[in-house]
Amino acid sequence: MEQTKIITKKKDGLFYVSRLATIFSILMYVSYIPQIMDNLNGSQGNPIQPLCAALNSTLWVSYGLLKKKHDWPVVIANLPGIVLGLVTFFTSL
């Protein structure tokens, strides 16, 4: 009789670092919300940085989706950057 082995994958330090990086990436883009509010209240900021962030996020989301095995943490971490970067850019004009 053949014995079936149950293989469990132990989560290493890299797993936890990647999850923490995903959380902080999202927080970085959410931090645009106060600037968006200031922009809407009339004190426009510099539009270059949020535009670069939006373009950078678009490239990373594309990378994550174009990989043979989608890299969902990269996609999820950068989606807010596209939306909030563009909103910040347009409200600062």
pLDDT digits (tens, 9 = 90+) for 55-80: 999 999 999 999 999 999 999 999 99
Gyration radius of the chain over CA positions: 19
Q: Would you list the domain boundaries of the chain?
A: 46-93
pTM for this model (two decimals): 0.81
* pLDDT band for position 93 (cuts 50, 70, 90): very high
Amino acid (1-letter code) at residue 78 = N
